[in-house]
Structures are given as C-alpha cells and as structure tokens.
Amino acid sequence: MINPEAVSLRPAEPADVETLRRLARLAYQPYVERMGCEPAPMATDYSQAVNDGRTWVAQQGDALIGLLVVAVAKDHLLLENVAVAPHAQGLGVGTRLLRLAEDQARANGLYEVRLYTNEAMTENLDYYRHHGYQQTHRATQDGFRRVFFTKQVS
C-alpha cells in the first residue's frame, strides 16, 4: 500500500535508468492500443535525461513509483514527462511531481510551465485542467496528435 506521506522526491541517478524505463512502459502501456502506437515517453533516452540532470523520481522505500522529466527553455520550463506506476496512481504522487516541476521553474527564474499530452490520453486533459493548466492549442507534432497546456507560476 502506498502511503503518500512516505513518498520522497529526489533527483534521479544513473542507477535508476532501467527502473525509469520499466516504470514508463508500465505507466504508458494502457495507451498503446488507444493510440495505435507507443507513446513517446516509452522511447525516451532516460540515461541521457538523468545525465542531463533533468529527471526526478518519486520513491517509497526502495521502490520508484513516479518520474518527472523537465527541460529548461529560455522563457519557460517544459514538463516533458510525468508518470506514476499504475498501483500508485490516484494517491497524490502525480500532483507532487507537478508541484516539483513548478518549483523547478521558479528555481530557474521562470514563471511558466508548459506541457503536452496525446489527445488519446483523455483522462490527462481533465487532470491538467484540474491542476491549473490551461489548454493553448492542439497540433500534430512528431507524428503524435498533441494537446498543449501552460500554467503561470509565481
């Protein structure tokens, strides 16, 4: 059983890379049939993302149960990926990771967080709106039909 109070957030380490790959595959697997292909986060180079210092993990005990990948741009922070293990979804882990992204934006002197999700991931559309993100547009990018969001942080 996941106890949200016992979940810690920390920067990812090289030893986490294989677990990050497995976690992403588990978290995104339900969307493969709906999308007709693997979602982009299933093919992310987690080794590079960890080495670049832009990946964090949510951990309970020895288990990694969530991940966050961000990229710092000139005028915003791009939330590239947030994923939570299926057995830990709905317990606040994703919310904590979103807050961490917003904290990272502020720490880098940025006041906007941007993200996108696939339009087939319909539950994400409401999830991001619920967390204060505003939809800006929809577009096809890299072969994926994406919905783009933004949030101002202060």
Q: Which residues pair with 117 in a beta bridge?
A: 147
**Residue 1 pLDDT greater than 70, yes or no:** no
The strands making up 8-11's β-sheet, listed across from edge to edge, are: 8-11, 55-60, 63-72, 77-84, 112-118, 144-152, 134-141
* pLDDT the model gives residue 109: 96
Quick one: average pLDDT of 125-131? 96
* pLDDT the model gives residue 4: 65
What's the CATH code, domain 4-152?
Answer: 3.40.630.30
- pTM metric for this prediction: 0.93
Quick one: average pLDDT of 86-96? 94
Domain ranges of the chain: 4-152
Average pLDDT over all residues of the chain? 94
Give the rounded distance of the alpha carbon of 133 from its chain centre.
14
pLDDT in tens, 46-80: 999 999 999 999 999 999 999 999 999 999 999 99
**CA 41, 19, 25, 81 torsion-angle sign:** negative
